[in-house]
Amino acid sequence: MHPLPSGDQKLVQIVDAALADATRRSGHWLVCRPGCTQCCVGVFSISPLDALRLQHGLAELELNEAERATRVRTRAEESVARLAPGFPGDPKTGILFQDEASQAAFEGFGNEETCPALDPETGLCDLYPARPLTCRAFGPPVETGDGLGVCELCFRGASDDQIAACEMPVDPDNLEQKLIAELPENVVTLGDTIVAFALVTISPQKTP
């Protein structure tokens, strides 16, 4: 399996520090807590770097907690089996198509699908240290291109100014894209995917 870029740990530290700061500023408006799993339902796209980080996370889990890792992989395989027929991408590689029609189809795709990294018994993420940037930034106000987006469970009753005061800058220096540019083309074919496919179709065992 190809190593993660040396800068990935720095990226994770930047995002996690931004989350900690936004959490401090958000105070009681932010109700995220262990066991709250609403944000774990519904597929979302992840970058090649996210996918590679997840693969490393699963490989490490396999070394330390093999049974737990097997459960993650089994959930991922079952998720792929459910999602593959309507997947708006290549179901063999797990890479999402980027044409307009496919992107539109993805908007309503897999909205009821639970993330395979979620342990349904504990309500916790089995790959939490390796989770994608979207997961690391979910909850506080984040710029989406259509304004600030927040978890619908958080900031209830807050004014626009109060929400804006808690905005989380996720990756202000665009480090993620710089690191993706460093990845060899044959690692994850340099396309976006989803968590389930990252853990199965382009799993550690199958990555060139």
Domain count, the chain: 1
Within a domain: residue 17? no
| Residue numbers of the chain with a pLDDT score lower than 50 | 202-208
For the segment 40-68, what is each residue's pLDDT rounded down to a tens digit?
A: 999 999 999 999 999 999 999 999 999 99
For tokens 């997961």, the residue is: 135
Residue 62 in domain: yes
Q: What is the pLDDT of residues 169-199, one digit of tens each?
A: 999 999 999 999 988 876 656 789 999 999 9
Considering the entire predicted model, what is its pTM? 0.92
Among 46, 88, 4, CA closest to 192? 46
Residue 9 lies in a domain: no
Q: What integer pLDDT is reported at residue 2 of this predicted model? A: 84
145 is a domain residue: yes
187 within domain boundaries? yes
The verdict on residue 22 lying in a domain is no
Q: Is 27 exposed, middle or buried (0-12, 13-18, 19+ CB in 10 A)?
A: exposed
Question: 87: domain range?
Answer: 33-198
